[in-house]
Each structure stands twice: as C-alpha cells, then as structure tokens.
Structure 1
Amino acid sequence: MTLQQSLTKHIKDAISSAYDATLETVEFQATRKEFEGDITVVVFPMLRVVKGNPVAIGEAIGNYLVENVTEVVRFNVVKGFLNVVLSDTHFLDFFTEVTDFSSYGIQPQNDDAMMVEYASPNTNKPLHLGHVRNVLLGYSVAQIVKASGKKVYKTQIINDRGIHICKSMLAWERYGNGETPQSTGKKGDKLVGDYYVRFDKEYKAEIATLEASGKTTEEAKAEAPIIIEAQQMLLKWEAGDKDVVALWKKMNGWVYEGFDATYEAIGVDFDKNYYESNTYLLGKEFIAEGLKSGVFIQKEDGSVWCDLTEEGLDEKIVLRSDGTAVYMTQDIGTAIQRVKDYPDVTGMIYTVGNEQDYHFQVLFLILKKLGFKWAENLFHLSYGMVDLPSGKMKSREGTVVDADDLIENMTNTAREISEDLGKIDDFNEEEKNELYHTIGLGALKYYILKVDPKKRILFNPEESVDFQGNTGPFIQYTYARIQSIIRKSEGDLILDLKDYTLDPKEKEVLKTLQLFPDVIQQAASNYSPALIANYTYDLVKEFNSFYQNVPIFAADNNKEIQFRVALCAAVGDVIKTAFSLLGINVPERM
C-alpha cells in the first residue's frame, strides 16, 4: 500500500468518525514551498459531504492522522489545505527499501499490448524538423508506455505511393539525366527530394504560362501538362505498369537507405515497417465488405463514401470514382493488417500532427462501424507544428530544415559552447566528438519533448544548447557531476541509517525521488513525455540545491558521507532512466 493509499484510508476513517459521513475520494497535491509539509490534503472537495468550516475539518483530520499514522509527525492547516509533515523514518525507509535505483519506477511487462506509430514519412523528400518532433514524441511515448508495464510495438507506415512520389519520379525522368546517389554523392532521400522541389518549380512555371493565356488559376492548375502526366503515372502505377513500377522501386530504395541513416543518427528504431503500397489494397477489400453491410455507400459516379452526419461529421470519401485509393483507404487497411500481425494488440497510438485531427476522428469512427472491438482503444497523439524564427517550413519550396543538417548543426553548436566553457581539455578527439553529439542531440530532444505535445513550438537551436536552466545539457551536466562524486567516493556504501536525522535539503530530494513511479504512470496515461522531462528538471533543481548547501565529503561523520554519496547515486540513476524514456543519453564526464 502506498503512502497516499494509506492516508486516504485513514482520512476516510477520520471523516466517518468525526462527522458520520462517507468520503468517496481524497484529493492530494504537493505542498507549496512557503508552507511546512510533505504532502497536502485538499479539504474543500469534502464540503460536498461534510458540513462545517474547512479549517476545523482539516484540524480534525490532522489530529486523527497524528494519533493513528506513525509516519505523520505534525500538521498545519492553511484555509482549506491540510499540510502533513512526515517523519524522517518514512523517507529513510523508502530509500533503503529500493534495492536498485537503476530500475526504480520501471514496471514488469503485462499482457496488455499497445502499438505506437510514428515517423510515417512520404518517400518524396528527406526527413525534416517536423518529422523530428514526430519521431521523438512517438519513440518517447513508446518507451514510457513500456516502462509503465505494457508491451509495446513500435511501427511506421511509409507513404510510398500516390501523386507525391509520382511528382519526384516524373521530374527525375525529365531532368535527372540518370543521376543516382552514387554518382552525385548525395543521400538518396535528399536526391529524390530535390526532384520534388524541381517538379514544383516546373509546375508553377506551366501554371503561369496558362494564366497568361487567359486561363483562371484553378483551370491552369488542373490543365498544366506536368500535373496531368503525374496523374497518368499514378494510374499506370496502380495498373502495375512495368516501367513505372521499376522506377518507383529504384527511387524508393534510395529514399529508404537515407531514412535509415537518419533514424540511426537520431537514435530511434521500429519493430516493423508498413508500406502504403501494400496496405491500401487491403483497405479496398474491407471497403467492398463495408459496401455489402451498408457501412459505405456508392454514388452515381462510382465513388464510395461513408456517411458520418449522424455522428456530427460529414460524408467522407474512401474510394475515388476511378477506383483509386485515398489516404483513408490506406489507414483502414493498415490498422486491420497490424492487428492481424500482432493479435495481442488492444489499442494503437498514432503520432501525427494536429492538422490531421479530423482525419483520425473519421478513421476511428469507420473502424468502429466496421465492427472491430479494438477500435474502441485508438488514440491520436496530436501535436503542434514546429516553427522557426524565419517562419513556417514548406517542403515543396525547399525551405524546410533538413533533419540531417539539424543534427549536424546541434552537434556543432554543442562543440562551440563546450569549447568556450573549456572543461574538456583532457578529452581526446573521439571522446570530444562523441560528447558533442550526445549534448547536441540531448539539447534537441529535451527542447522538443519538454513542451506539451499539443503546443506549437518555436525552435531555437542556440537556446536549447544552454548549460543553465530547463535544458538537456543542464541536466546532462548534473548527471556528469554526480558521476564525478561517485568516482571520488571510496569503497562500498554500507548504509546504517538508524537514528539518522535528515537535512531539509536531503528530505526534498527524497520526496522528489519518491514521485518517479507515479510520474511514469501519469506520463503513460497522458502520452506526455513533457511530464517526464519536467519532473527530471525538478529533480535536478532539488539535487543542485542540496549539493550547494549540504557538504558531502566534508560532512561531520562517515554515516553522513555514505548516505549523501548514495543519495547522489540514486539521483543519477533516476536521471539516466528518465532521460532514457526521452531517448536521451547521458555522458559520464562533461
């Protein structure tokens, strides 16, 4: 039984005894810094069932707890808040009962399996800053959900078909002169992305020519020869045209190699890849079944729709009049195929930007209408876009921040700042380069993940690589400082904490450590790495306050030295675990 569970039972007993009333729940919160206390009971909600003055009710509960709960030593009441002070023994018992802080908070896996989708790139361009937020969020959520005790499968759907890839293919055919990643020395995804930009340039030129001849903008966009040819190429691909399919396989192969290199550099992976070119066919099969059962309707032009007006939405197309699939077709097929492949999956988390909120509302409703029970447990991890000081990114115009360039820039920024600080003179070049990469990636990941997923981000690389404040490098530096303390300690830490009196700073660190398992569960329930990130920052702030105010090796006796070194080690272990849930590495030295 946890402390809160124990307190809840005794508080309910106190209310029953003093007021002959029954409390359903008890609300707790952290005690505000200006008041004495280790945990606060919120009295105001109790007024629904208990008639009386909230201060008097708080006093009655406090007296009952002091008499009946050994961990409670005193209390104070401020308006409707009962601040409870816990004994040193409570915190010391907690510390000694945790046999291994390196696995503290991580729950053993149960049979409940979730699938987390992230990345989901198009094969017409390299990964960019927007993809980076996506993969960092998805990977971190997968790690957190796994730590909470569930089995997790990490996956992506690669959007390898459709008009977007045909645009790159057509531009390469027209203007590529047979160049390849090998002949140019470019990563394959960058080479293909160049031709996507080239297509847009040529398309705009043709539109301008048609407009000059008297066409409206909409007419010009529809009648431009290059877009018509791209549309014809898509129809040929779906018909299995040998030459088009061969070109598609070749150019997609270039892109996959580029994606894999970027994923490795970022530090994320997948258990299984799905490809739209495969799953859209399965989607079409289930649309045919849904037509028979009345889930879908076919219009006079042959297009197939799902009527969701009764659910407050509108009609959604799932198959075009020419029989070609839309994104909804693919996503229906993909979801069904995933459960076929992993029968133990009871739910899925889709990491996709908030511009697709409506799409996933529709998808989840359609899957429910098709009768899939697991469709009740689908979640869209909707996140805000990433902006730059210069404005919004546009892939077609080539104004995106390339993911590979971003990683290199973050590493270089970390190099410049680290060299200015002058604390790594004893590192060799290999150690320095590894450290710069660790700091740079840590800065990037933490800067993005500390923000609530729903919020839009203005990304500032220089601000993220700061060794002060709520940043990844600040936390990494604290971890390295702790490792230095451990290296300076001598021998095994044999703790005898009988009659040990905690310094208030030690107590604050222990209180924060104690929260970690609950934070993991909250982060898993809310699919929010930000809760882990900001908890870690709070822990580091408490630790640094302890470090600056409480002597370690200059303590009064060996017992204090051993406990404080052990406390440092525990904080280091939790920082390392928390950062691993964010996909961030921590350096042993900085």
Structure 2
Amino acid sequence: MNFIITATLDAVKALYNEEIAESVINIQETRKEFEGQFTIVVFPITKISKKSPEQTANEIGEYLVVKVEEVTAFNVVKGFLNLSISESYFLKQFNEETLADDFGVFKANGKKVMVEYSSPNTNKPLHLGHVRNNLLGYSVSELLKAYGYDVVKVNLVNDRGIHICKSMLAWQKWGNGETPESSGLKGDHLVGKYYVIFDKEYKKEIDALKAEGKTEEEAKKNAPLIKEAQQMLLAWEQGDEAVVSLWKTMNEWVYAGFNVTYKNLGVDFDKFYYESNTYLLGKDTVDEGLAKGVFFKKDDGSVWIDLTADGLDQKLVLRADGTSVYITQDLGTAAMKYDDYQMDESIYVVGNEQDYHFKVLFLILDKLGKSWAKGLYHLSYGMVDLPNGKMKSREGTVVDADELIADMIATAQEKTEELGKINYFSDEYKTELYKNIGLGALKYFLLKVEPKKRLLFDPNESIDFQGNTGPFIQYTHARIKSLLSKAAYKPEVVGPDAGALLPVELEMMMLLTKYPSEIEIAAKAHSPASLANYLYELAKLFNKFYHEIPPIVKTEAGASKQFRLNLSKRTADIIYKGMLILGITSPERM
C-alpha cells in the first residue's frame, strides 16, 4: 500500500503543484460491492485541487493508471477513488513477503513492559471472573511479546488480611486437622470450604444478636467470630509464631491448588509479589508527597490529596493512626516494581469496578513527578455472566474455575464424539484433543469480545464447530494440515505467472498480508479481540476458498496446485501462531 501513498503524493504535486503531508492520504480497502482493491478518500485533497471530489478523483485516477504499472484501472464513486491493482503485484507480494520465514515477526523494540494479572485472594479458589482476568493477562502478554516487547508477567497475590484469617479461624474450630491429602480436596478448595463455613457461622451469630435487639451494623461488629478473626489478624501482624505458622501452611495449600488451575488454563508468571511483603510499603511515598506539597495533613493527623481540580475528589492516603489504606500500599508497590524492572510500561489487568481507583493511583504518581507514571495502564474488563441454570458451582453462586474447565472438556468430548471422526485416534490423543477443544472454546469465546464489554458466556454456544468459535478455527487448521499431508506438500515458490487468479484467491492473499498489521493493532490497543476476529475471518475465507476451487490435491497444473498449497500452508501457519498468542493450541487432526 505504500506505493499507492507515494504515487498519490506525486500525483497531487504534478496535477496541482503542491506538496501535501503523507497523513492527508487516507487509503482503505475497497468495499465489496465496488470494483477494485484499494480506495483513496479524496475529500481532503479537494482543498488543494479546488475542484469537486468527483473531478479530483478522476484526475488522480487517470494519472495513476498512466504512471503506476500496478494500477490497472479505476472507478469513482462520489469522492472515493477505487483502484484495481494487477494480479502480478499481489502474487509478487505473496511470494516475496507473505511466504518469507520472517513474515509477521517483529524485531525486539528495546522496550520492557510488565503485565500484572490474576492477583487472587488466598481464601478461595479461582472463579469465572479470574478466568477472564488470567486469559486476558496472558494473551496481552503474548501479543506484546509478538510485537517486540520484553515482557514480564507478574502476579500480586493478596495473601494477608481479614479474609484469610476467617478461613484460618474456621479451620481451627471445625477442621479437625483436615488437610488436602486427608480430604482429597485441592488446597484452594479446602481453604475456600472453611471460608464458606466461617460465613455461615458468622451469619448465625449476627441473627442471634439481632434477635437480642441489636441493629444489623452492631451485630456485624460485635459477633464473637469476627472479633476473633480480627484478633487473629492482629496476632499475625505482631508475628505470633502459631498464627504465622498456620497462615503459611494454609497459604501453601492454596498456592498448590492455584498452580494446578494455572497449568490447566495454560497461563504462567515470571514473578510473584505477595501483599504480605508489600502492605507496609508506601509510607515513604506519603512522606515524599507531604514534602512536595502534593498531600496535606488534616487536624486529626490523616493524610489526603485534593483531586477536585482534576474532576475527582479528596482521597485519603494514610489514616490518622498512621496505618495504610489500599492506595498507600499500591503507591509503594508501583514504585517497588519499577525499581525492580525499570519497565517502560506497566499494565494492570483488573476488573472495571476498580476504574476509579486506578485513575486516582496513576494521577497521584504523576503529581509526585514519577517519570514512569505515564507508562501505567489499567486494562479494565467487564463481568462475565452465565445463562441461568448453567454450570452452577457447588455453592450455587460463583462458578468455580476448575469446575468450568472440567465441564468444558467434558462438553468438548461429547460434541466431538457426536461427529464420529475420531474413532481411529489413540486414547492419549483423544484426551489431549478434548482438552484443546474445550479450553480453545472457552478462551476464544472470552477473548473475542473487547475487554471492556460485559459478556454472556454460553458454554454450549462456545463449543460449536461452525460460526465464530475457537473449535471452528481449530477445525479449519486441522483441515488444512490434512490437505497438505495428502498432497505431500513441499514448500516451493512459484513464479508470478501462475495463471489467472480467482477472486477468492486474491481475497486470501490480501487477508494474509494483513497479519503483521493485525498484531500491531491488537498490541497497541492491549486487546486480543481484534486478533481473534481476524483469525475467524481468515478461517472463514479459507473454507470459502476450499469449496470454490477445484480439489487442490487432484489439480493437475503444477504451478496452480503449488500456489494453492502455498496459500493453504501460510493460512495454517498464521492460524497456528495467532491462536497460540491467544493461548490456544490448534490440533493437527480433529
């Protein structure tokens, strides 16, 4: 497309005796109802031509057909100049660029980015919301790697506070020494079980106090269980040996459970931070802010920042008793992470209920003069809903990640076996295939939607071998691999004179060439959704190509057959690489 921009700049200079900036030239793909492949929007050029859009478009079109050998014809629709480009240009581009070994490979750009995702609490297992978080964080990390960044994947674990003390206290009271080994439960499920028990017993105490005439608020504050949990937290903060020992034991159970879920989801981390090590950070930052006049102290000794001039409000950054609030430790943790890695960008993958918090955090760091604050980004995402009655968790409220994964794999097995094409596969391959299809369906369904949008996840809709789904794209990849195998494909670049192209072949080449720009667009937007939908369009177009052309394997013409096999091979390569960025494996056989 660069040659069209250059030629259009030359045309404006020759026709109207003026030079214009490259940014004025707006080129789009021609709409399907019109002839041509590329369209120049000429409205901005009329300021220079001093002529109507149609006349300007015709003059530039005539110039390009005469001066540029790749432009074979043009047509004008109002202020839009549609250009027809020669087949030889697309064939040359396909053979020299798209088929090159380094096609779609970006060189390292020398920049480092940190992606923080998952960030679970250690009092319960991961759930559906965590699944979206983990898949987003992982795929954005892989996208940025593909675009040339040095990426650090980080998990900040919320391993302290009243929530874990609730599980610990309930286990002490009602656990009878139960362990993951003795119960057969994953560690995170076992700890989550006692968190639920605490909540049930706590509610009983609240109801009893209310029956005695206490208000709801009074009952919540004075229930014996919550007071014991608060005492346990205080003992932990003071380093009580028995409490710290139990805390370490139960957290280790949880980490072991999380690791199983992470492995099944196919996500990983380069570095774990723990809130138990970071919750006291940030007080130095508060002192720095006071010294700089960014913060102010109220009469009671509490420290605040006034953000009303920025359209926000006053924000507490340190309590009157000198203890931290969440923003305090987040200020300190942000500084610590930068000191550790000196990254150019830092991305926080956190749900949209924290939008305000991050707006405040980033603004404070900017006002404190932190040079790296401009590189902070909140990747905000919406909630995931399920159709009523689908996949309820054992508590009936939150969908457990492990249950979700198991159900997706079971559904994949059921639907794959219904198709009846896998009877000759080994049991081992079948097991891996069901997992790849089930998780591919889950991941693709959650990632194809823009992160900020709330989405409705329907497990049955996601595992469909037709439509905009992971299994459809996976099946297309397997179909191509089968085709290449039957044809005993060997790579060989055929000359530009391979013969007249069918319209669908031209479409294929044009769509394949867009892969690098799709990586760039998705990486810059911190959104895997556009890449996911590009891969769907590519798979859909391949299936059209597959059905419209003569059977490739039986095609006699050597150059034509080789060219079509080359198209097929590069399609499979791009689907495989693109799906891997989304965390999805595309099987060789389905």
TM-score range, shorter chain: over 0.9
Hey, what does 1:470 align to over in structure 2?
A: 468
* Paired residues of 1:101 and 1:573 also in contact (CA < 8 A): no
Moved more, 566-575 or 36-45: 36-45
Residue deviations 1:274-314 (CA, integer Å, cap 9, x gap) = 11111222223322333333333333444332222222211
Look up the equivalent residue of 1:51 and give its one-letter code: K
Rounded Cα–Cα distance in structure 2 between residues aligned with 1:139 and 1:126: 19
Hey, what does 2:377 align to over in structure 1?
A: 379
Hey, what does 2:536 align to over in structure 1?
A: 537
Hey, what does 2:287 align to over in structure 1?
A: 288
Hey, what does 1:587 align to over in structure 2?
A: 587
Q: 1:208 to 1:259 in 2, by over 3 A?
A: same
Q: 1:323 to 1:227 in 2, by over 3 A?
A: farther
Moved more, 159-168 or 111-120: 159-168
* Paired residues of 1:66 and 1:72 also in contact (CA < 8 A): yes
Moved more, 145-154 or 11-20: 11-20
Look up the equivalent residue of 1:18 and give its one-letter code: L
Hey, what does 1:562 align to over in structure 2?
A: 562
SS at match of 2:345: strand
Hey, what does 1:87 align to over in structure 2?
A: 86
Map residues 108-187 of structure 1 onto 2, 5 A cutoff: 108-187=107-186
Matched, 1:6 2:10: no
* Paired residues of 1:387 and 1:393 also in contact (CA < 8 A): no
> Residue 109 of structure 1: CA displacement?
1.1
SS at match of 1:295: coil
* Paired residues of 2:489 and 2:565 also in contact (CA < 8 A): no
Rounded Cα–Cα distance in structure 2 between residues aligned with 1:492 and 1:251: 56
Rounded Cα–Cα distance in structure 1 between residues aligned with 2:569 and 2:132: 31
Map residues 455-534 of structure 1 onto 2, 5 A cutoff: 455-490=453-488, 492-500=490-498, 501-534=500-533
Map residues 16-55 of structure 1 onto 2, 5 A cutoff: 16-24=13-21, 25-47=24-46, 49-55=48-54
Q: 1:299 to 1:203 in 2, by over 3 A?
A: farther
Hey, what does 2:358 align to over in structure 1?
A: 360
Hey, what does 1:577 align to over in structure 2?
A: 577
* Paired residues of 2:308 and 2:314 also in contact (CA < 8 A): yes
* Paired residues of 1:102 and 1:574 also in contact (CA < 8 A): no
> Residue 394 of structure 1: CA displacement?
11
| TM-score, normalization by structure 2 | 0.95
Matched, 1:429 2:419: no
Q: 1:103 to 1:76 in 2, by over 3 A?
A: same
Q: 1:50 to 1:133 in 2, by over 3 A?
A: farther
Moved more, 482-491 or 210-219: 210-219
Corresponding residue pairs, total = 586
Residue deviations 1:79-125 (CA, integer Å, cap 9, x gap) = 22222211111111112113756652120212111111111111111
Unaligned runs of 5+ in 1: none
* Paired residues of 2:383 and 2:454 also in contact (CA < 8 A): yes
Hey, what does 1:443 align to over in structure 2?
A: 441
Moved more, 115-124 or 43-52: 43-52
SS at match of 1:107: coil
> Residue 383 of structure 1: CA displacement?
0.6
Q: 1:416 to 1:254 in 2, by over 3 A?
A: same
Rounded Cα–Cα distance in structure 2 between residues aligned with 1:511 and 1:155: 38
Moved more, 96-105 or 58-67: 96-105
* Paired residues of 2:463 and 2:469 also in contact (CA < 8 A): yes
* Paired residues of 1:140 and 1:581 also in contact (CA < 8 A): yes
SS at match of 1:560: helix
Moved more, 398-407 or 495-504: 495-504
Q: 1:321 to 1:225 in 2, by over 3 A?
A: farther
Rounded Cα–Cα distance in structure 2 between residues aligned with 1:94 and 1:75: 21
Q: 1:499 to 1:254 in 2, by over 3 A?
A: same
* Paired residues of 1:117 and 1:155 also in contact (CA < 8 A): yes
Rounded Cα–Cα distance in structure 1 between residues aligned with 2:486 and 2:137: 39
> Residue 196 of structure 1: CA displacement?
1.6
Matched, 1:298 2:297: yes
SS at match of 1:281: coil
Map residues 321-360 of structure 1 onto 2, 5 A cutoff: 321-343=320-342, 345-360=343-358
| TM-score, normalization by structure 1 | 0.95
Hey, what does 1:105 align to over in structure 2?
A: 104
Hey, what does 2:58 align to over in structure 1?
A: 59
Rounded Cα–Cα distance in structure 1 between residues aligned with 2:139 and 2:91: 32
Residue deviations 1:390-433 (CA, integer Å, cap 9, x gap) = 29999996621111111111100000000000010111111101
> Residue 340 of structure 1: CA displacement?
1.4
Rounded Cα–Cα distance in structure 2 between residues aligned with 1:357 and 1:153: 23
Rounded Cα–Cα distance in structure 2 between residues aligned with 1:288 and 1:249: 32
Q: 1:128 to 1:101 in 2, by over 3 A?
A: farther
> Residue 521 of structure 1: CA displacement?
0.5
Look up the equivalent residue of 2:387 and give its one-letter code: P
Moved more, 20-29 or 255-264: 20-29
Rounded Cα–Cα distance in structure 1 between residues aligned with 2:262 and 2:355: 26
SS at match of 1:467: coil
Rounded Cα–Cα distance in structure 2 between residues aligned with 1:208 and 1:562: 77
> Residue 136 of structure 1: CA displacement?
0.6
> Residue 59 of structure 1: CA displacement?
1.5
Rounded Cα–Cα distance in structure 1 between residues aligned with 2:273 and 2:240: 22
* Paired residues of 1:122 and 1:159 also in contact (CA < 8 A): yes
* Paired residues of 1:62 and 1:82 also in contact (CA < 8 A): yes
Moved more, 549-558 or 128-137: 549-558
Moved more, 258-267 or 548-557: 548-557
Moved more, 414-423 or 13-22: 13-22
> Residue 465 of structure 1: CA displacement?
0.2
Rounded Cα–Cα distance in structure 2 between residues aligned with 1:207 and 1:248: 26
Rounded Cα–Cα distance in structure 2 between residues aligned with 1:430 and 1:190: 28
Q: Which runs of 4+ in 1 moved over 4 A?
A: 47-50, 99-103, 391-398
* Paired residues of 1:142 and 1:154 also in contact (CA < 8 A): yes
Look up the equivalent residue of 1:549 and give its one-letter code: E
Q: 1:424 to 1:49 in 2, by over 3 A?
A: same
> Residue 492 of structure 1: CA displacement?
2.9
Rounded Cα–Cα distance in structure 2 between residues aligned with 1:258 and 1:329: 30
SS at match of 2:478: helix
Matched, 1:249 2:248: yes
Rounded Cα–Cα distance in structure 1 between residues aligned with 2:157 and 2:524: 27
> Residue 238 of structure 1: CA displacement?
2.1
SS at match of 1:98: helix
Look up the equivalent residue of 1:516 and give its one-letter code: Y
Q: 1:48 to 1:74 in 2, by over 3 A?
A: same
* Paired residues of 2:98 and 2:512 also in contact (CA < 8 A): no
Rounded Cα–Cα distance in structure 1 between residues aligned with 2:403 and 2:101: 34
Q: Percent identity?
A: 58
Matched, 1:417 2:420: no
SS at match of 2:82: strand
Q: 1:192 to 1:477 in 2, by over 3 A?
A: same
SS at match of 1:282: coil
* Paired residues of 1:74 and 1:84 also in contact (CA < 8 A): yes
Q: 1:7 to 1:402 in 2, by over 3 A?
A: same
Rounded Cα–Cα distance in structure 2 between residues aligned with 1:457 and 1:167: 32
Q: 1:405 to 1:485 in 2, by over 3 A?
A: same
> Residue 27 of structure 1: CA displacement?
1.6
Q: 1:228 to 1:65 in 2, by over 3 A?
A: farther
Look up the equivalent residue of 1:378 and give its one-letter code: L
Hey, what does 1:317 align to over in structure 2?
A: 316
Q: 1:47 to 1:279 in 2, by over 3 A?
A: farther
* Paired residues of 2:393 and 2:400 also in contact (CA < 8 A): no
